[in-house]
Amino acid sequence: MDTDSFFLEVTEVVRETEDASSIVFSVPDEAADLFAFAPGQFLTLGVPSEETGLVARCYSICTPPGEPLTVTVKRTVGGYASNWLNDNLRAGDRVRVLPPSGIFTPKDWSADLLLFAGGSGITPILSIVRTAMRDHSGRVVLFYANRDERSVIFAEALTALAAEHPGRLQVFHWLESVQSLPSEAQLREFASAYSSWTSYCCGPAPYMSAVSNALRALDFPRARRHQEKFVSLGGNPFGDVEEVLAAQASLAEADDADEADEAPPAGPTGPVKVEVELDGEQHVFDDWQAGEKLLDFLESKGVKAPYSCREGECSACAIRLVSGEVTMLRNDVLDAEDLAEGIRLGCQSVPASEETVKVSYS
């Protein structure tokens, strides 16, 4: 069993729009430290499924640290989990939840923030906005794109925040029903007034791509461009759901056969030295074995490295490769730009050469 997962009680379900709800959880005292979160992080929920016993989905936290643990779920067309949660969840229900994860969190709160949100991508962005306004003194500009006025999640909350902090927070709404989809040229023109600010973006993939291209055209350095990236999880990160294991058992032999036909990635012939920077601490080991995933190795050494899905399907375990070589066994979330910047997934990285591997979780 994954002992870090808990069944959390739902204390309230708040209808935000016609197709989005916020789910407020009660965290027991014994799990308070485990479920402490940073602005911009997400939770992984276990949603009951008649076919597989459970499906795991990631939903961003909308509240700032210190306030009730709350995620917002927007329906997606054909999305089993999002529709089930919106249709069935009520106060008093219990949901299986993994601790907060993700790295979509400002590290320098003194910087002015240029935020882009599209649709339900406002959820982690709102957590960042609320934290910035409550705890810090920097300026924040938010560009928020939606289909139409009825689909704007947290419209009242954003209006209230902007009115409370008129000199620090500006919110610009963009409605597809009125202005069509924002083009790269329009995004570039908007962002040009904030070229020295630090940007965070969350929303549908085409929207994030357009924002990224616009910022690159303005020579925003990679260190000041951040995007939230996670996708629907295909595996079971909870680890002990018997229904899931039974449902997947029939696939195991076929999977094993496929893997047997694949040549293992080239790697070192012996153990490799690895140096890991995590939360300001340096961890050095000289016995990282070929074929062993970095996350598994660090856990065997008692190092609490971040992760969520363990399947290469989210970015919660992202590391930056400082030196050395690793091979990722799977990657469903990092793009070519991420890879060029040295970003890798710790849950899927195995040593690829004899030389010392240096990585950082910062």
Do 195 and 281 share a domain, yes or no? no
Same structural domain, 117 and 203: yes
124 and 84 together in one domain: no
| Cβ within 8 Å of residue 78, ≥6 positions away | none
Distance CA 140, CA 128 (A): 10
> E-assigned strands of the chain?
6-17, 20-26, 42-49, 53-60, 69-74, 94-101, 113-118, 140-146, 169-175, 198-202, 225-227, 272-278, 281-288, 318-323, 326-328, 343-345, 349-351, 357-360
Which pLDDT score is estimated for 245? 42
Domain count, the chain: 3
Return the pLDDT at 251: 38
- Asked whether residue 310 is assigned to any structural domain, the reply reads yes
Q: Does some domain include residue 212?
A: yes
60 vs 128: CA distance, rounded Å: 11
- Residue 254 counted as domain residue: no
Burial (CB count within 10 angstroms: exposed 0-12, middle 13-18, buried 19+), residue 251: exposed
Same domain for 91 and 117, yes or no, is no
* Residues 223 and 173 placed together within one structural domain of the fold: yes
From 199, 227, 255, the end of a domain falls on 227
Asked whether residue 117 falls in the same domain as residue 220, the answer is yes
Q: Say whether both 355 and 329 belong to one domain.
A: yes
pLDDT at 246: 43
From 227, 248, 282, give the residue that closes a domain.
227
Q: For residue 325, count other CB atoms closer than 10 A to its CB.
A: 16
Give residue 333's pLDDT.
79
d(CA 355, CA 101): 30
Q: Which of 304, 263, 247, 311 lies closest to 281 in space, CA to CA?
A: 304
Q: How far apart (Å, rounded) are the C-alpha atoms in residues 20 and 75?
A: 6
Q: CA 163 → CA 140, 171, 349, distances in Å?
A: 13, 10, 47
Select from 82, 127, 91 the least CA-distant residue to 109.
127
70: domain CATH number? 2.40.30.10
Q: What is the pLDDT of residue 146?
A: 97
Q: Which domain covers residue 48, as residue numbers? A: 6-102
pLDDT reported for residue 334: 83
Quick check: is 235 in a domain?
no
pTM higher than the cut 0.85: no
What pLDDT is recorded for position 232? 52
Q: Are 91 and 190 in a shared domain?
A: no
246 by DSSP, 3-state: which? Answer: helix
pLDDT number for residue 97:
92
CATH number at residue 128: 3.40.50.80
* Cα distances (Å, whole numbers) of residue 203 to 25, 211, 287: 24, 10, 41
Q: Read off the CATH number of the domain in which 326 is found.
A: 3.10.20.30
223 in Cβ contact with 309 (< 8 Å): no
Shared domain check, 209 and 274: no
Residue 247 lies in a domain: no
At residue 23, the pLDDT reads: 98
Q: Which residue has the tokens 């597809």?
A: 176
81 shares its domain with 174: no
Provide the token pair at 355: 């030389």
- Written as tens digits, the pLDDT of the chain (362 aa) is 344 678 999 999 999 999 999 999 999 999 999 999 999 999 989 988 876 678 888 899 999 999 999 999 999 888 889 999 999 999 999 999 988 988 889 989 999 999 999 999 999 999 999 999 999 999 999 999 999 999 999 999 999 999 999 999 999 999 999 999 999 999 999 999 999 999 999 999 899 999 999 999 999 998 899 998 765 555 667 765 443 344 344 334 434 444 444 444 567 888 999 999 998 899 999 999 999 999 999 999 999 888 777 777 777 788 999 999 999 998 877 877 788 888 899 999 999 989 999 999 86
